[in-house]
Amino acid sequence: MRSRVGRATTAAVLGGLLAAGCGSGNSDPASSAAGQGDSAGHPVTVTDCSGAETTFTKAPERIVTSNASSLELLLRLGAGDKVIGTGFPPGAGTLPNGLDAQARQVKVLSETVIPKEKLLGSGADLYIDTFAAMNMGGGMGDTPTEEEFRAAGIKHTFLKSTACAALSKSPVTDLSAVEDDITSLGAITGTSAKAKELVDGMKEKVAAVRKAVGDTPERERPTYFFFDYDAGTKQPMAVCNRQVANAVITLAGARNAFADCDGDYKQVGWEDVIAKDPDWIQLGVRDRGSEAANDKAFDEAQKWLESNAATKGLKAVKEGHLLRIGSERTTIAGVTNADTVEAIAKRLHPGKVG
């Protein structure tokens, strides 16, 4: 099985982002009671999956991010100068719009999960965690307890739309959790105006697609399989109905082939994919850092589907209905989810989405 660079390879912890997250409740009651704030709109209180609160009386000044997804969000919000370190750093050339150079300036504390001692000794006042706390064991490293975070003076928040996805009580069919998290992260870092701009841009793109394909009856919507090539070809990894990709696929006017799977990810067999016989397949590969490298990876994924005895007879493969859209913008919650909704809809509904 291929390893996936910069990714928490277990399906339960992968996903994507944002700071209203499955937080730890590291609120500072004394500061909160004092009622002291700042001109950036503080105090700000965010809640975790269970409702526990974390209060910020001022914007954090020394942030550590667990991986590239939360780092990218901070860069997009204009708070990148506050980031003092990251785990799972983005690959060179993988971030868009001039963000790559900024990301290169951030200290890499680990190529994978940041070791406990290094994280606690980093000098951070905030750790933004993209991973689900209950799944950080079993190969994901020895992470600090909430008591240890408090003792080190580090507030610990999770990115709710990613870390808490598997706990959702119902399928994820829109990007509201992602948008809420961007808004919360903006409030925490004092960049609410930029957060609003990003969220408004996402809403505008998605609204246009929904207007174009929203009246398409469910039975007429094509079925869609996200082929996670980098997760390995021996046993495919399906995105289920709690994963942000399910929302992206749904909003684009398609039906996730594995929408009947409750959770975020699930390993399935090729016989399961064959039984679904999807109308479209997305070649999900991670950004290699250049257009040439990405094209090569897409070529490899397509060639595998076309030459493998178990998959070459699939409807999508025979009809050439293979989309070349990267994994991160589909399965990791972030601003580019809306771009992916638009990109998929243009291919699947060319007469309706320009």
Q: Is the pLDDT of residue 19 over 60?
A: no
CA gap 99, 352 in Å, rounded? 33
* CATH fold of 215-348: Rossmann fold (3.40.50)
Q: Give the bridge partners for 227, in sequence order.
A: 283
Domain positions in the chain: 29-200, 215-348
Query: Percentage of the chain surpassing pLDDT 90?
Result: 75
| DSSP one-letter string for 160-185 | HHHHTGGG-SS---SSHHHHHHHHHH
The answer to whether the beta carbons of residues 129 and 156 sit under 8 Å apart is yes
Q: How many Å separate Cα 324 from the centre of its chain?
A: 18
Helix axes 192-213, 244-251, angle to 10 degrees: 50
Indicate the pairing of strand 255-256 with strand 223-228.
parallel
How far apart, in Å, are the Cα atoms of 205 and each of 177, 201, 327, 339? 16, 6, 19, 7
Superfamily of domain 29-200: Nitrogenase molybdenum iron protein domain (3.40.50.1980)
CA gap 191, 14 in Å, rounded? 26
The answer to whether the beta carbons of residues 243 and 15 sit under 8 Å apart is yes
Helix axes 244-251, 336-348, angle to 10 degrees: 40
pLDDT band, residue 38 (cuts 50/70/90): low
The answer to whether domain 29-200 and domain 215-348 are alike in fold is yes
Look up the pTM and report it. 0.86
Residues 52-66, mean pLDDT to the nearest whole number: 95
CA gap 333, 335 in Å, rounded? 7
**For the chain, the helix, strand and coil percentages under 3-state DSSP, each to the nearest 5:** 40, 15, 45
Q: Is the pLDDT of residue 273 over 50?
A: yes
> What's the pLDDT tens digit per position in 154-185?
999 988 898 888 888 899 999 999 999 999 99
Supply the pLDDT for residue 11.
32
Q: Say which DSSP state 93 is in.
A: T
Q: Is-cis flag, bond preceding 43, omega within 30?
A: yes
> What's the pLDDT tens digit per position in 294-313?
999 999 999 999 999 999 99
> 241: which 2 tokens?
């109905």
> What's the pLDDT tens digit per position in 119-162?
999 999 999 998 865 444 333 457 899 999 999 999 999 888 98
Supply the pLDDT for residue 48.
79
